[in-house]
Amino acid sequence: MTKINQPFYSTNLSFYIILCISIISIIPLFTIIINSSIIDFDFTLFKNSQFLEYTKNSLIILFFVLFLTFIFGVIPAYLVTFYNFVGVKFFKYSLILSFAIPPYIFGYSLSAFFENFGSGYTLINLIWDTNNANSYLPNFSPIVNSVLSLSFTLYGYVYLLSRTSFVGQSVNLLDLGKSLGFSSYQRFFKIILPCARPGIFIGLSLVAMETLSDFGTVSYFGVSTFTTEIYNSWFIFDDLNTSNFLSLLLLIFVLFFFIVENYLRKDSRFHSLKNEGKRKKQALKGTKNFLATAFCLCLFVFSFVFPFSQMLYWSIKFPEYLANFEILKLNLNTFLLIFFTSFFLISVAIFTNFGNRVLKNRFLSVFSSLSISGYAIPGIIISVSIISFFSLVSSFINFDLKTIFIGSFYGLILGYFFRFYSIAYNGIKSNFLKINYSLDESSYLMGFDKFKTFSTVHWPILNKNIFFIFILIAIEIIKELPITLILRPFNFETFSTRAYNFATQDLIEATAIPSMFLIFWASIFILISFKYFFQDNK
């Protein structure tokens, strides 16, 4: 069939724009592959004790974080979905507040509490009036600290996704279990858990990607992992070869989880069953009630109350940092970034999705769904690839693109675009999918052109959810560290970079104020968007 035969052949321009957007969005992937092709493969690296060290560290952290987030995620999700106990409604919502805490800030709080003469020391002194409090406090190794920080801040993914799978489970299936005489223990292991497997694995894959991408926490605790080594070899030792090689290795690693996640997402559609009846929650009594409440309470306190109050406490205890601190400017910078980036990302996502809907070009829609792969690429790799891409292009075309994009607002937004475009794209896409295609058709048939169709039909339906997509992007940007740290303009600070800088200077008390603000705003954003996270139960 010739092109001209398509009903919308006049929209060639948007075809090329969407193509360009898709091409731009795979720059990081492209750059790493180009770079790796010029790597001087030094296989002695594999025998290098350092290499073994950080591979080992990365794997150990990954393993324990996955284990802990599984426990922290699945158990409360199971409890709040199937049982009634004291505070169940509160815990159902409040457990996702852990999303407000970036892992590195949890790390700062951990060391603030457990260090010699830290908050833990003060607390014990206050209660027992002893001078020997330091000896009662455990002294965790850097790896344990990293694992704890990551697990308590990332379990939300597993919690949310397994809860959604539990809620979606058929009541009939559980009744069947009861009629077969299964105990609640057997029902959990034989029916509930296996049926929720795709959801749980998707959550764990996201945790794995975040853990492998994490830079702030491990670099703060001084654990050498892939990300810290990429950073060090690039920015400290200027060893591009190793940096590129490690980027490629890490990427292969992360892409494995990315593929697992996407495979399961497609697969889980067939697993989801219609929820036929209203589920009756079982009320827990006595010890069980107490244990359920205690578990959720501990989780909530450790994951959210602890870091927040620690930062609040320090902000009050060390008011001197407040004095010479440009709070207003930090707030302004952060919100400026959030608004520009989300406006840009959402506009591009709307344009691409609308264009794909109108053009109905298979090649283009497959290609633009490739462009969301960015969220799997660790921020550190994105930053490094942006820098090396623009150096490459600058030297190629003999025009200094580097100064335009490196250390500037544009470069920063581009970095966020690579990393967070998928949030905007998928969010808008799922809303577009809810609009039946026959609405577009009837609009055309009333003589409305594509743009009028968009303004009278699509936009009024889409705009209700755009706010939530904006919030989701805002939460991610406010917590983001490596891209901001590397690509930001000179002296441009956000909460996360400020806190990180203080922490690396060992001014851990000073991290309190930016961290507290960060947690505060992120929590507000999460509170606003509760409805979005819990859309499944109306």
Partner 1 sequence: MGNFFEVLDATFSSGNDHEIKNINFAIPKKGNIVCLLGPSGAGKTTILRTIAGLEKLKYGTINLNGKIISSNTLSISPDKRNIALSFQDNCLFPHKNVYHNILLGLERKNRKKFLYSPLELLDLFKLKEVQQKYPHEISSGEAQRVSLARSLISYPDLLLLDEPFANIDQILKEDLQKTVKDILKLTKISAIVVTHDPNEAFYLGDKCGIIINNVLKQFDTPYNIYHFPNSLEVVNFLKRGTLLNVKIINRQILKHKSLGIINGKYGCSNLNQFNEGKTVKLLIQPEDLLHDDKSQLKLKIVDRKFRGTNFIYTLKTPEEELIPVLVDSHHQHLHENNEEFGIKTPINIDHLVCFEKK
Q: Contact residues for partner 1 (CB under 8 A)?
A: 1-2, 4-8, 10, 436, 438-439, 441-450, 452-453, 456-457, 460-461
Minimum separation from the CB atom of position 256 to partner 1 (A)? 36
DSSP result, 173-193: HHHHHHHTT--HHHHIIIIIH
CB nearer to partner 1: pick between 56 and 452: 452
At its nearest, how many Å lie between partner 1 and the CB of residue 451?
10
Task: Return d(Cα 46, Cα 24) in angstroms, integer.
Answer: 33
CB closer to partner 1 out of 6 and 535: 6
Residue 219's CB is within 10 A of a number of other CB atoms, namely: 25
CB of 112 to partner 1, least distance (A): 50
**Matching residue, tokens 């407040």:** 322
CB of 441 to partner 1, least distance (A): 5
Nearer to partner 1, 67 or 437 (CB): 437
Reduce the DSSP state of residue 33 to 3 states and report it.
Answer: helix
Q: In angstroms, what is the minimal distance from the CB of 358 to partner 1? A: 10
Q: Closer to partner 1 at the Cβ: 398 or 436?
A: 436
Angle at which helices 119-128 and 306-317 cross, to 10°: 90
Write the DSSP symbol of residue 452. Answer: H
CB-CB neighbours of 442 under 10 Å? 13
**Choice between 448 and 534, CB closer to partner 1:** 448
| Residue with Cβ nearer partner 1 (178 or 452) | 452
Minimum CB separation of residue 10 from partner 1 in Å reads 7
Pair 226, 246: CB distance under 8 Å:
yes
| Nearest CB to partner 1, comparing residues 10 and 504 | 10
Q: In the bound complex, what is the minimum distance in angstroms from residue 7's beta carbon to partner 1?
A: 5
Nearest distance in Å: CB 275, partner 1: 20
282 three-state secondary structure:
strand
Burial class (CB in 10 A: 0-12, 13-18, 19+), 243: buried
Nearer to partner 1, 237 or 451 (CB): 451
Q: CB of residue 471 vs partner 1: minimum separation in angstroms?
A: 22
* Bridge partners, 84 (sequence order): 283
In the complex, minimum distance from the CB of residue 229 to partner 1, in angstroms, rounded to a whole number: 52
Structure tokens at 195: 């049926």
Nearer to partner 1, 422 or 431 (CB): 431
Residue 327 or 446: which CB sits closer to partner 1? 446
Residue 279 makes CB contacts below 8 A (sequence gap 6+) with: 81, 82, 171, 174
Among residues 230, 68, 52, the alpha carbon closest in space to that of 146 is found at 68
The H or E element that residue 84 is part of is strand 83-84
Whats the size of the chain, residue-wise?
Answer: 538
Q: How far is CA 293 from the centre of its chain?
A: 28
Burial class (CB in 10 A: 0-12, 13-18, 19+), 531: exposed
Please give the C-alpha separations between residue 44 and each of 50, 51, 242, in angstroms, as whole numbers: 11, 10, 12
Q: Which is nearer to partner 1, 6 or 48 (CB)?
A: 6
- Hey, what long-range contacts does 300-303 have (CB within 8 A, 24 or more apart)? 300/91, 300/94, 300/95, 300/97, 302/152, 303/72, 303/95, 303/97, 303/98, 303/101, 303/106, 303/152, 303/153, 303/155
Q: How far is the CB of 226 from partner 1 (least distance, A)?
A: 47
